[in-house]
Amino acid sequence: MAIETFRNRKKRGPVAFGAVLAAFALLVTGCSAAGGSGTAAIDESCTPVVADVQTMNPGKLKVLEVEHPPFATMEGGKLTGVEGELVQKIAKDLCLQLDVQVTSFAGAIEGLQNNRGDLSSANWTVNDERRKLFEVSDPMYRSLMGIVTRGEDWNTVDSLMGKKIGTPQGYLWNDQLKALYGDSVVEYQSDVAVMDDVKAGRIDAGIVNNHANSWRIATQDQYQDLTLNTMTPDKRLPHTQQDALAVVLVKKGSTDLRDAVNTVLKDYQDSGEMKKQFEKYGLDPQFIVQSDS
């Protein structure tokens, strides 16, 4: 069943707001978590599923992570979420000690380009430009463009004409929105900042990731009165005309690490663990891209 409208859905469980806000503060400032977050030293008897994978620092996997629940979030010093669990599995299966650096979307992109991290996994969608800048994994799932409002049923390009629109930095659709709506579009640091300004009435609508914010509306009390609709495909907004595929971004040239990530990702998908994570956060598993057998 496709994701369309999310409004006043039953809450799925409590959210640790203090942890989320603390991590969000790190995202905004671009700082790392205190000392980063890593796993214990790897047992010498560990046998990697792919041998001799090269990383920046031998025996370690440096991950530039963005606080973007339910895909990736730090809880109690541990990386969790749909993609957070994948990153944990990558480090474990490759017998690497995990070193997580929390940053912003822009910080992760800049860090990978400047040899400050091995990979990043945080709901990154891929286009031709990113394929040139990074090694990219096989696709994990399809991502959607959502429109969040204070109870409106807007779901088309035309319904947003003349409206004040907010969207998070780093999304591939931002230039297309600006070309279509001009100065009516304002970029924000995060999805949360967009949601907050929609709720406060400072903007009329937010263009955000559908999966992440359907979860946010369903689980966080302050957003229960907001409505999220999926943008209807429109030729004037090319991003809606093709599948937006989420991938792991790997430092350019690290092809052996990219291939190893694909090996672990395939197991994560085929074993049903990714499906379990989607269901845990109230996401529709139909959007998971099935690995090639």
51 and 183 together in one domain: no
Q: Which of 267, 288, 249 is nearest to 119 (CA)?
A: 249
Whether residue 275 sits in one domain with residue 201: no
CATH code, domain carrying 265: 3.40.190.10
Residues contacting residue 226 through CB under 8 Å, at least 6 positions apart: 7, 148, 149, 150, 151, 195, 198, 199, 217
Tally the domains of the chain.
2
pLDDT at 38: 60
pTM for this model (two decimals): 0.80
Residue 115 placed within a domain: yes
Residues 46 and 85 in one domain: yes
Report the alpha-carbon angle 75-249-193, nearest 5: 50
Q: Determine the pLDDT at residue 28.
A: 34
Is 292 within the bounds of a domain? no
Q: Which range marks the domain in which residue 165 is found? A: 143-241
Rg (CA), the chain: 19
Contact assessment for residue 86 and residue 138, using Cβ atoms and an 8 Å cutoff: no
Residues 107 and 152 in one domain: no
Given this model, what pLDDT does residue 170 score?
84
What pLDDT is recorded for position 37? 59
Same domain as 151, residue 177: yes
Does residue 261 share a domain with residue 165?
A: no
Residues 134 and 263 in one domain: yes
281 and 183 share one domain:
no
Question: Do residue 163 and residue 214 come from a single domain?
Answer: yes
* Same domain, residue pair 96 and 159: no
Nearest alpha-carbon partner for 207 in 253, 241, 160: 160
Which residue stretches of the chain have pLDDT < 50?
1-35, 293
